[in-house]
């Protein structure tokens, strides 16, 4: 399939997300007058992003070059690879290509966002989408969701091979193994650049097969006896869901689903044939009271302890339909994502307090990763034999370790590129270098607002959360600038006013003095008055309390 090498133009490869971070995966490949995009994912906000719901990539570069974009190609249906699509497609309406399940999950997202005019294309492994300067080929992968693919981009300079998220599972739940043979064929044609998943590069050996989880679940279900079983897992881990359902049917239990994302994924997966569950097995969550505890399995979201997730609400007795009680068996079938350890620990503690038995990854084999460990990564390097290598999908330490692994396998260090988000790698059949940068960063989504929360808003939110707010209201005469009413002071999150009368009286005295000085000097400009009130009051409050609340003066003219 290799195209004839007759052009010395440079191919540009750049990441708009997914480098030096987990999530927000988005890779851009540009050649001549065409651009293709691989994945469009989101990430979840860091602790200091107060009130932010999700984080998506900055697509400024794509907006400027939207006429060149030929499509977005999806490796698989996880949120960190498809979650940003609705926001991006509102600005750049281009065709989307992906395997059947990926497109099914995307359709649900677009429907929620009322996007009905997007051209969605279902592709199958080994199918090739032909453009003028690219031929884009999907290749079967194994991961923690069905229909995962790697992507080979054929150009007249060579092949760019993007592994996507993968592991090499020789006994997958659906029996559909990774297409290693095709990767060997690509190697013979000539892989110019490989971008590879770096998530588990720090783990030696091989990642265990998803089938090993079945044995752990079987043991727990067998010992549960008369207990109600509640299993928390990632909604997108359909192979895990299938194993839980298989266990429920084996032990004659009914299955109820909790959590909006879980209900959506189960619905799509059943409709498309990726999840097999008998009609008599599945019951509505509202009907669980009709069954004995020994007849029930509840599958729920909330493996990361997210405060609004179904499991967290169950643990804190805020769930409308499920109340945790003594004797319940709660299985948390997932690893904590780095940074979420405290959240999930809190949920586990609350579950124990309510008398539940909690089984999590530290004490049972009930989770395996969907990402390749060191030996699998070595194998993919040996199979693909790329000329150049760019570690992808991971924090900096992961990218660095993956680069070292490639060197250990004999690749020259000058052919390995540990890049930052926004770096542009320019390459042709003979050479590669990081040549420039493009604008990039985070776009914060808060409710219906996309990008309207920036650093200044986050700084103000942080200030408010740490120091509180003091509002000063003064009414002055429009004619001569004299004070007609106030100052009135409203405090929120700073001090309790009724117990701090001396402090409030002193603050009012400071404000009155500022207003008097300005009146004597015949100063009526609002900006000057507000600034003087703010500065003098700030100094007074800090001297008295060693705190710096946000001060908001409001001046009304009548």
Concatenated DSSP letters of 256-283 = EEESHHHHHHHHHHHHTTSS---TTTEE
Which stretches of the chain drop beneath a pLDDT of 70?
1-8, 45-53, 338-339, 361-364, 445-466, 477-484, 486, 495-500, 519-526, 557-558
Catalytic residue among 169, 179, 197, 428: 197
For residue 67, the Cα-to-chain-centroid distance in whole angstroms is 28
d(CA 268, CA 102): 10
Element (H, E) at 528: helix 526-545
Q: How would you classify the pairing of strands 135-140 and 128-130?
A: antiparallel
Q: How confident is the model at residue 529, as a pLDDT? A: 75
381 is catalytic: no
Contact present, 73 and 151 (Cβ < 8 Å): yes
Q: Would the annotation count 235 as a binding residue? A: yes
Catalytic residue among 154, 371, 381, 402: 371
Contact present, 140 and 176 (Cβ < 8 Å): yes
Vertex 382: Cα angle to 381 and 384 (nearest 5): 65
Q: How confident is the model at residue 6, as a pLDDT? A: 43
Contact present, 155 and 9 (Cβ < 8 Å): no
Please state, as a whole number, how many other Cβ atoms lie within 10 Å of the Cβ of residue 114. 8
Q: How confident is the model at residue 424, as a pLDDT? A: 95
- Which distant-in-sequence residues (6+ apart) come within 8 Å of 217 by Cβ? 243, 244, 247, 331, 333, 366
Domains of the chain: 11-205+369-446 (3.60.15.10), 211-359 (3.40.50.10710), 455-557 (3.10.20.580)
DSSP for residue 356:
-
Phi, psi of 439 (to 5 degrees): -65, 135
Q: Would the annotation count 165 as a binding residue? A: yes
d(CA 447, CA 52): 8
Q: Would the annotation count 239 as a binding residue? A: no
d(CA 253, CA 250): 8
Distances (CA, A) of 343 to 138, 249, 333, 364, 395: 37, 32, 15, 20, 21
The answer to pTM > 0.85 is: no
Q: Would the annotation count 369 as a binding residue? A: yes
Phi, psi of 543 (to 5 degrees): -60, -40
Q: How confident is the model at residue 3, as a pLDDT? A: 47
d(CA 165, CA 153): 16
Which two tokens mark 33? 């007058």
For residue 442, the Cα-to-chain-centroid distance in whole angstroms is 12
467 is catalytic: no
């Amino acid at each position: 399939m290799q195209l004839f090498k007759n052009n010395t133009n440079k191919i540009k490869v750049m990441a708009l997300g997914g480098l030096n971070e987990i999530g927000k995966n988005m890779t851009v490949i540009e050649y001549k007058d065409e651009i293709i995009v691989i994945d469009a994912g989101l990430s979840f906000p860091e602790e200091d992003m107060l009130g932010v719901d999700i984080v998506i990539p900055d697509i400024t570069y794509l907006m400027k070059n939207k006429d060149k974009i030929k499509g977005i190609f999806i490796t698989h249906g996880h949120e960190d690879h498809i979650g940003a699509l609705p926001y991006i497609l509102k600005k750049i309406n281009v065709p989307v290509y992906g395997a059947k399940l990926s497109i099914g999950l995307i359709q649900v997202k677009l429907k929620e966002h009322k996007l009905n005019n997007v051209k969605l294309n279902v592709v199958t492994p080994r199918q090739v989408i032909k453009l003028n300067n690219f031929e884009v080929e999907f290749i079967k992968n194994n991961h923690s969701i069905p229909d995962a693919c790697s992507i080979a981009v054929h150009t007249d300079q060579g092949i760019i091979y993007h592994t996507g998220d993968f592991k090499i599972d020789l006994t997958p739940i659906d029996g559909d193994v990774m297409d290693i043979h095709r990767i060997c064929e690509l190697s013979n044609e000539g892989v110019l650049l490989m971008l590879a998943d770096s998530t588990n590069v720090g783990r030696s050996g091989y990642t265990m097969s998803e089938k090993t989880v079945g044995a752990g679940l079987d043991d727990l279900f067998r010992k549960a006896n008369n207990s109600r079983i509640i299993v928390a897992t990632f909604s997108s881990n359909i192979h895990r869901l299938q194993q839980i359902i298989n266990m429920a049917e084996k032990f004659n239990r009914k299955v109820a689903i909790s959590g909006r994302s879980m209900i959506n994924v189960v619905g799509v997966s059943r409709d498309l044939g990726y999840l097999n569950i008998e009609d008599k097995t599945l019951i509505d969550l509202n009907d669980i009271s009709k069954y004995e505890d020994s007849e029930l399995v509840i599958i729920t979201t909330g493996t990361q302890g997210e405060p609004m997730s179904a499991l967290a609400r169950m643990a804190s007795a805020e769930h409308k339909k499920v109340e945790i009680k003594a004797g319940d068996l709660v299985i948390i079938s997932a690893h904590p994502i780095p940074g979420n350890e405290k959240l999930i620990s809190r949920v586990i503690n609350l579950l124990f307090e309510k008398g539940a038995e909690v089984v999590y990854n530290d004490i049972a084999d009930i989770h395996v990763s969907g990402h390749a460990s060191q030996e699998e990564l070595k194998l993919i390097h040996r199979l693909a034999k790329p000329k150049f290598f760019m570690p992808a999908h991971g924090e900096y330490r992961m990218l660095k370790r993956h680069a070292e692994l490639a060197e250990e396998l004999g690749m020259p260090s000058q052919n390995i590129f540990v890049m930052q988000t926004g770096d542009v790698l320019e390459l042709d059949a003979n050479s590669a270098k990081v040549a420039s940068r493009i604008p990039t960063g985070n776009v914060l989504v808060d409710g219906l607002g996309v990008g309207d929360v920036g650093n200044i808003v986050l700084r103000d939110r942080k200030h408010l959360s740490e120091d509180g707010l003091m509002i000063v209201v003064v009414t002055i005469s429009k004619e001569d600038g004299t004070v007609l009413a106030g100052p009135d002071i409203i405090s929120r999150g700073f001090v309790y006013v009724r117990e701090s009368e001396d402090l409030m009286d002193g603050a009012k005295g400071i404000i009155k003095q500022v207003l008097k000085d300005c009146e004597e000097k015949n100063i009526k400009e609002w900006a000057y008055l507000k600034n003087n009130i703010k500065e003098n009051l700030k100094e007074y409050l800090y001297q008295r309390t060693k705190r710096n609340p946000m001060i908001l003066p409001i001046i009304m003219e009548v």
